[in-house]
C-alpha cells in the first residue's frame, strides 16, 4: 500500500511539474510573439523612413542635374558674349563654371546617399521578413503548446 501511494504521489508531482513547465513555455512563446510584432512594426517604420530618404535624395539629384543643364546653357551664352569683348560676361562665365562644378559634386554625393539608403532599405526588408518568419514560428509553438503536442 505504501509503495502504491508513493508511486501515485510521484506521478502527481511529475504531472503537475510538466503542466507548470508547459504553462511557462506557453508564456515564453507569447512573450516572443509580442516582441516579434514590435520588431516587425519598427522594421516597417524603418522601411518607410528609408523609402522617404531615397525619394528625397533622388529629387535632390534630379534638381542638381537640371541645374547643371541650365548652367551649361548660360555658360554657352556667357562665353559667346565674352568672345565679343564683354568683360562682365567673362566674370559671369567663371561664376557659372564654379556653380556647375559644385552641382556635379552634389550629384555624386546625392547618388552616394541614394545607394546607402537603398542598402539600408534592403536590410530593413530582410529584417522584416525574418521577423514575420519568427512570428509565424512563435504562433505555431503557441498552438502546439495549447494542444499539448
CA atoms of 92 and 79, how far apart (whole Å): 9
Residues 8-62: pLDDT tens digits? 566 665 655 555 454 678 899 899 989 989 999 999 999 999 999 999 999 999 9
pLDDT band at 121 (very low <50, low <70, confident <90, very high): very high
Place of cell 559671369: 92
Domain edges within the chain: 2-58+103-147
What pLDDT does 108 receive?
92
Q: Give the CA distances from residue 87 to residues 18, 23, 39, 83, 92, in Å, rounded to whole numbers and listed in that order.
A: 95, 88, 64, 9, 9
Residues 78-98: pLDDT tens digits? 888 888 888 888 888 889 989
User: How does DSSP classify residue 149?
Assistant: -
**Residue of 16 and 144 predicted with greater confidence:** 144
Question: What is the 3-class SS of 31-51, one letter each residue?
Answer: HHHHHHHHHHHHHHHHHHHHH
**Which pTM does this prediction carry?**
0.66
Angle at 17 between CA 12 and CA 20, to 5 degrees: 125
Instruction: Give residues with Cβ within 8 angstroms of 19, minimum separation 6.
Output: none
Amino acid at each position: 500500500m505504501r509503495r502504491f501511494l508513493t508511486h501515485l504521489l510521484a506521478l502527481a508531482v511529475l504531472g503537475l511539474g510538466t503542466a507548470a513547465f508547459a504553462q511557462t513555455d506557453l508564456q515564453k512563446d507569447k512573450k516572443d510573439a509580442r516582441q516579434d510584432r514590435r520588431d516587425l512594426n519598427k522594421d516597417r517604420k524603418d522601411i518607410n523612413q528609408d523609402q522617404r530618404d531615397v525619394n528625397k535624395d533622388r529629387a535632390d539629384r534630379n534638381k542638381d542635374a537640371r541645374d547643371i543643364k541650365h548652367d551649361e546653357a548660360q555658360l554657352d551664352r556667357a562665353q559667346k558674349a565674352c568672345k565679343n569683348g564683354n568683360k562682365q560676361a567673362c566674370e559671369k562665365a567663371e561664376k557659372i563654371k564654379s556653380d556647375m562644378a559644385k552641382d556635379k559634386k552634389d550629384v555624386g554625393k546625392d547618388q552616394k546617399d541614394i545607394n546607402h539608403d537603398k542598402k539600408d532599405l534592403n536590410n530593413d526588408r530582410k529584417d522584416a521578413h525574418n521577423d514575420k518568419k519568427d512570428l509565424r514560428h512563435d504562433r505555431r509553438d503557441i498552438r502546439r503548446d495549447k494542444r499539448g503536442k
